[in-house]
A and B are shown apart, each in its own frame.
Chain A
Amino acid sequence: EADIYQTPRYLVIGTGKKITLECSQTMGHDKMYWYQQDPGMELHLIHYSYGVNSTEKGDLSSESTVSRIRTEHFPLTLESARPSHTSQYLCASSETRSGANVLTFGAGSRLTVL
């Protein structure tokens, strides 16, 4: 079944640790995105990719980095986590439907940095 998977779902780590949030999709979508969302708040685009070896920063500045070596895989890395990075991170991929970009989201990774 075509889907988009995020791991881990929940992560609690200490300040200064390096973390990688994984995102994989089985739909063959070229476009992938990372959004950051605080509880009860709007989504902010932090990274996006339109294909292999293509990555761009989003509208919200983020200290995280991403890579896109394979179409299906779009991991996000924080080299040194801080409490200000505590948030939910949502990965999405998109297809063009009726001329519009329609997003399919993963279930999210909730990160808590102590």
Chain B
Amino acid sequence: SQQGEEDPQALSIQEGENATMNCSYKTSINNLQWYRQNSGRGLVHLILIRSNEREKHSGRLRVTLDTSKKSSSLLITASRAADTASYFCATDAGGSEKLVFGKGTKLTVNP
């Protein structure tokens, strides 16, 4: 079964609003990563958070990690139309070097 599950599956917001996506996973992890995929393209790494970290920032991105609930959230502040993409969380289940990806959240930012 899939290690990571994103929620919601799809999200539509207006430019300037904040977008929050959630990821839940099943087994223990050493780190969790978020990736972005524009339509029909490969994925691009956004941010990594280690299991001993609770929050991390990178520009307009804020990631939180709650290992007790086995969940993470990605917040994009002041969204732009260019943020329209699918966002995936990826985990190294049990410290494996193979990343397992969730189903992704499709974000649409309307101008």
Interface contact B104-A99, CB-CB below 8 Å: no
Interface residues of A in 31-55 (CB under 8 A from B): 31, 33, 35, 40-43, 45, 48, 50
Give Cα A100 to B88, complex, Å.
17
Could you mark each residue 93-114 of chain A with 1 if its beta carbon is under 8 Å from any beta carbon of chain B, else 0? Answer: 0100111111111111010000
Distance in angstroms from B95 CB to nearest chain A CB is 10
Distance in angstroms from B107 CB to nearest chain A CB is 13
- At the interface with chain A, which of B12-20, B39-47, B65-73, B75-83? B39-47
Which residues on A sit within 8 Å (CB–CB) of B50? 98-100
Interface contact A107-B42, CB-CB below 8 Å: yes
Could you mark each residue 22-39 of chain B with 1 if its beta carbon is under 8 Å from any beta carbon of chain A, else 0? Answer: 000000001101010000
Which residues on A sit within 8 Å (CB–CB) of B88? 42-43
Q: Given A31-B97, A42-B104, A48-B98, decide whether A105 and B48 contact each other with a Cβ distance below 8 A.
A: no
- A35 nearest in chain B by CB position: B101
Q: Given A42-B104, A101-B92, decide whether A90 and B43 contact each other with a Cβ distance below 8 A.
A: yes
Give Cα A88 to B43, complex, Å.
12
Interface contact B45-A101, CB-CB below 8 Å: no
Q: Given A42-B104, A100-B33, decide whether A105 and B44 contact each other with a Cβ distance below 8 A.
A: yes
Give Cα A59 to B101, complex, Å.
12
- In order of increasing CB-CB distance, the 8 nearest A-B pairs are A105-B42, A100-B31, A42-B103, A43-B101, A105-B43, A107-B42, A101-B97, A106-B42
Show the binding face of B for A, using Cβ within 8 Å: 2, 30-31, 33, 35, 40-45, 48, 50, 86, 88, 90, 92, 97-104, 106
Show the binding face of A for B, using Cβ within 8 Å: 6, 31, 33, 35, 40-43, 45, 48, 50, 58-59, 88, 90, 92, 94, 97-108, 110
